Structure 1
Amino acid sequence: MTAVDSPVSALAPAPPGPGLPAGRRAPARFLIAALWGGLLLAFVLTCVVRGLPTDRVVLLGWVLAGLGIHAATQGRGRLGGLLVDWLPLVAVLLAYDATRGLADGLGMPVHVAELAAADRWLTGGVLPTVWLQDQLQADWWKAFATLVYSSHFVLTPVVLAVLWLRDRRRWARCARLVVALSVAGLVTYVLYPAAPPWLAAKEGVIEPVDRISSAGWAVLGLPRAGVLLDTSQGQVNLVAAVPSLHTAFAVLMCIVLLPLARRPWQRAALVAYAALMPLVLVWSGEHYVVDTLLGVAYACGVVLLLPPAERLVRSGGRRAALSLPWRV
């Protein structure tokens, strides 16, 4: 029998639950349509009243609500599978968000000047964030950059949802990579808290730099969304610049989706997205260039190291089981 594990461990694909009886299909379809309509109406009203949701936990809730409606069409088994698959992942990500906000209060010294010095060394003495903010001031760029930056909060939950619907084995691998990357980032934040450019400028360590990752919402006529994003970011660790997980997750999603891209333009779009994210982050004052390079390294490192680490854990577990007295 094949065991179904949590996202943190291996997950074998299970057959979908039984469909609905023929006599119940018409009422069930009406109910499903009503549920989808209600969810869509609730989402639109939320956007009108509070602005576009940009918090990862909130977005994950919307995604799970949609998956729950879809699973309901497949029977109780599919709905139960949704809970079994996603609850461990949601718990880990919620714990990550909670502990990320506490990581800067553990007493480690905050690094402020070193990263700016590293960027100046990489670019011959010019701070890239200052240069980019001087060069890129057009409204169209601000709007585009804000959408790219904010996509970080949307892309990973949506990709996980689509993979869960289409390929649970690939979903499980992606979920494990997401968890591993989040944990690796959190450990680094604890051991090496670092100030982003906008905070270093606020402290007078570098020349003036604006935090403008949300500037494009006003250009798009959605200032409320920018306020919500700034508020949600103000509640997390402000000295979690190393590594840039925005960059890391953009690269990770590119790596995960590239094998599924059938057309050249799709592959080009994925690579362009992974390259645009660090540019936007440096321009907006959220990260230094060195932060983004480390983000790329973390994403590639997780992809390369997680499979052998899982094999090592599995082989160690088998050896331990064989050594138990009851095996004699």
Structure 2
Amino acid sequence: MTAVDSPAPVLAAAGPAPVQPAGAGTEGRSRGARLLTPVLWTALGIAFAATCAVRGLPTDRLVLLGWVLAGLVVSAATHGWRRVVRLLADWLPLAAVLLAYDATRGLADGLGMPVHVRELADADRWLGGGVLPTVWLQEHVQADWWKALATLIYSSHFVLTPVVLAVLWLRDRARWARCARLVVALSLAGLVTYVLYPAAPPWLAAKQEVIEPVDRISSAGWAVLGLPRAGVLLDTSQGQVNLVAAVPSLHTAFAVLMCIVLLPLARRSWQRVSLVAYALLMPLVLVWSGEHYVVDTLLGAAYACAVVLLVPQAGRAVRAGTRRAARAAGRPLPWRA
């Protein structure tokens, strides 16, 4: 990933020095703080389990980000109020931007824009030489081990990005700030596309009898894993999201983005292979499960690559413009050139 000279003021003006890991400074903590830690973690775990039992597994990235932030607050609270203040100063702007994104996401299918159904199927049929890849995969790939693996890969989308952001914040705030800007940019790019081009996924197109029968089987692996309740909870949560937000595939986009962000940190070959395999398997799972067309996944990967290339350039352009304006006004530069 292209490095940014210095993190932008928005989404926290993180300095280059990494924050101490959560466990640092434990020796100086009071006995009361050490005893409070397991109590707070237990309370948070109970609250999360109760919420899942009532409302289903959280699939909204903002909700998951909130749970991750709650975990970070618990960790920071036992290390002093200064750490809590730093945490809130860094994360609240990010949460506010994603909250605005979440609040306007419903516009994607509420502005009367025509929902595109047949065009994507035609494009995929052309790519498949006259056969829809989703139909072919569902007919030929039915092994239980694959269903279990596919469900785990599909579900990982909902937790991976918030967890990566949390770990980066704990270890390297500068890298966290760069990653947070990429996440926001990718979310906004997806939202704009959903508004301008609402599109039906394969399973919905099949339901409308536009294409051959296709099942939505992204949760089929939970039964194989002996966790059918998890599949029901996930399906319940997904019923609340925009059903015509198929282009681009943000599942693919975020898988590719996380691969790009984490590859420079991978020190062993198996880690690099795992990251690349994850980015490649995600679109295959999406096409097989009826969640997306091949075209959707290709566009998702393209969006991720475009964000990684363009966001740092935009940041440098903004800083250069600010420096020119400061020189013209005779003011001191807000940062060194």
TM-score (norm 2): 0.88
Q: Which moved more, 1:34-43 or 1:199-208?
A: 34-43
1:206 aligns with 2:211: yes
Q: 1:88 to 1:34 in 2, by over 3 A?
A: same
1:230 maps to a residue whose letter is D
Matched residue of 1:311: which SS? Answer: helix
For structure 2, list consecutive stretches of 5 or more residues without a partner in the other structure.
1-5, 333-337
2:189 maps to a residue whose letter is A
- 1:5 corresponds in structure 2 to 9
Task: Report if aligned partners of 2:98, 2:184 keep a CA contact under 8 Å in 1.
Answer: yes
Residue 14 of structure 1, CA deviation: 6.0
1:234 aligns with 2:243: no
- 1:215 corresponds in structure 2 to 220
- 2:64 corresponds in structure 1 to 59
**2: distance between equivalents of 1:240 and 1:122?**
21
**2: distance between equivalents of 1:60 and 1:124?**
41
Matched residue of 1:243: which SS? Answer: coil
1:254 maps to a residue whose letter is C
**2: distance between equivalents of 1:72 and 1:40?**
16
1:300 aligns with 2:308: no
Q: 1:94 to 1:220 in 2, by over 3 A?
A: farther
Aligned match of 1:85 in 87, 90, 114?
90
Q: 1:295 to 1:214 in 2, by over 3 A?
A: same
Q: 1:58 to 1:326 in 2, by over 3 A?
A: closer
Matched residue of 1:101: which SS? Answer: helix
Residue 59 of structure 1, CA deviation: 2.4
- 1:271 corresponds in structure 2 to 276
Aligned match of 2:317 in 290, 312, 319?
312
Matched residue of 1:100: which SS? Answer: helix
Task: Report if aligned partners of 1:100, 1:236 keep a CA contact under 8 Å in 2.
Answer: no
**1: distance between equivalents of 2:269 and 2:98?**
33
Q: Which moved more, 1:311-320 or 1:43-52?
A: 43-52
Runs of 4+ in structure 1 displaced over 3 angstroms? 13-22, 40-55, 321-327
Task: Report if aligned partners of 2:19, 2:173 keep a CA contact under 8 Å in 1.
Answer: no
**2: distance between equivalents of 1:220 and 1:191?**
39
For structure 1, list consecutive stretches of 5 or more residues without a partner in the other structure.
none
Aligned match of 2:37 in 16, 32, 35?
32
**2: distance between equivalents of 1:179 and 1:3?**
14
**2: distance between equivalents of 1:61 and 1:80?**
16
1:5 maps to a residue whose letter is P
1:113 maps to a residue whose letter is R
- 1:185 corresponds in structure 2 to 190
**1: distance between equivalents of 2:125 and 2:57?**
37
Q: 1:11 to 1:73 in 2, by over 3 A?
A: same
RMSD of equivalent CA atoms: 2.5
- 1:129 corresponds in structure 2 to 134
| 1:16-31 matches, cutoff 5 A | 22=28, 25-31=30-36
- 1:163 corresponds in structure 2 to 168
Residue 27 of structure 1, CA deviation: 1.9
1:63 maps to a residue whose letter is V
Task: Report if aligned partners of 1:194, 1:241 keep a CA contact under 8 Å in 2.
Answer: yes
Offset from partner CA, 1:67-118 (integer Å, 9 cap, x none): 1121123321110011111111112222222322221111222111111111
2:9 maps to a residue whose letter is D
TM-score (norm 1): 0.90
**Percent identity of equivalent pairs:** 78
| 1:70-81 matches, cutoff 5 A | 70-81=75-86
Task: Report if aligned partners of 1:217, 1:225 keep a CA contact under 8 Å in 2.
Answer: yes
Offset from partner CA, 1:121-168 (integer Å, 9 cap, x none): 112111000000111122222221111101000000000000000000
**2: distance between equivalents of 1:201 and 1:154?**
29
Residue 62 of structure 1, CA deviation: 2.3
